[in-house]
Structure 1
């Protein structure tokens, strides 16, 4: 199983909004979380965007005036550094531990390696292998990212036909994994919420092979399939 990390296993929207709300409280400003995520999404995908999460410093300075927050470089660094404390979704670590008993788990993240190291620790170090933007030189949904992983799997005696790709982002993962011929599983973390939050909206919705609203449900389904 290959996994997106940020947004699927790690609650990046909660991490961003908590930090911005803390800065706002200190400045005497109330921050609307969904509004902040919409501004983040627009800023994150500007042409001048850099690698995530170092790019959070630039993003903060871009969105701070719209949120009436202090447009200070130190606050931008604070948002970037908050990544070290971002939390996993409550069901992520336990579900990964269960899945790792039956499958090789491979992380595929658009985060840099330094950030992934914190995320992996938060998740209980469940991965057989991991690919970051530092390793691939690109970001999903670039097919080249996936090709790096396919080559690794093939070197271990498998093929891309053996992979189930698990992710929450329709734009970064579900659409491209379908086009590349992978089986996929959509973890709909924003179920019950409108819009796409901090994730770019896809041009078209891709119907996944499997659809759950939590990682625990995927682990349950895998165990049922194993027992059948």
Structure 2
């Protein structure tokens, strides 16, 4: 099996294409400063991962911008540093400010020449629209949590995307899911019988950052530390 064997790349966006950890920490900075939060960056990202995933499971129909607001409220309660309503609301609207990884737009432009590109994201449509502009792409398919009424690792994103791709004449054997999060993406992708490519953006770092660890072992089919490295792998395969 080669990465050039596929017709579609389905992407997680946040953590894979958009640097959500930098975006999250920047958006939390006003609260941290005002409230005197002493948790370090990694501890704060771990707290975020625990709270965000819990709310996603408990309130799957909640719009992601509102979910982020609720996440900061609970993070404040757990840490003993309550967030103000204004701070929580600002965090809820922060996705628009989260930066793209430096290699994402160029890599997507290259890959678009060889694949259809799809997004399977846990955010809402309005938040993703800002990120799409940062990435410079009109994606062939976008499936958000707002569309399916649940959050990955629930399977609805994958079920809807595969059904829509099948209607285009593309079977799941021609779909390669590309993502950073083992928890949100690779475990459910494997449950759906998909090949997967791990963009390990946290290679060399300790812990799992803003993403919970997977509940079970999972083995992606390929691994690279960046989108740029994935592109180089594709170029080498094409040259052979």
Distance in 2 (alpha carbons) for counterparts of 1:38 and 1:56: 15
- Cross-structure match for 1:164: 176
1:6 to 14, 17, 21: 14
Distance in 1 (alpha carbons) for counterparts of 2:200 and 2:180: 5
- The aligned length equals 228
Distance in 1 (alpha carbons) for counterparts of 2:230 and 2:138: 16
- Cross-structure match for 1:41: 49
Shift of 1:102: 0.9
Q: TM-score, normalised by structure 2?
A: 0.88
Distance in 2 (alpha carbons) for counterparts of 1:65 and 1:175: 30
CA deviations over 1:112-131 (Å, ceiling 9, x no partner): 11111111111112411211
Is 1:222 matched with 2:230? no
Map of 1:75-154 to 2, 5 A cutoff? 75-154=87-166
Contact 1:21 1:30 in 2 (8 A): no
Tell which has more relative contact order, 1 or 2 (C-alpha 8 A, sep 6+): 2
Structure 1: which 5+ residue stretches go unaligned? none
Map of 1:141-220 to 2, 5 A cutoff? 141-220=153-232
Contact 1:36 1:67 in 2 (8 A): no
Q: TM-score, normalised by structure 1?
A: 0.92
Structure 2: which 5+ residue stretches go unaligned? 1-8
Contact 1:186 1:210 in 2 (8 A): yes
Distance in 2 (alpha carbons) for counterparts of 1:28 and 1:139: 32
- Which of 87-96 and 24-33 deviates more? 24-33
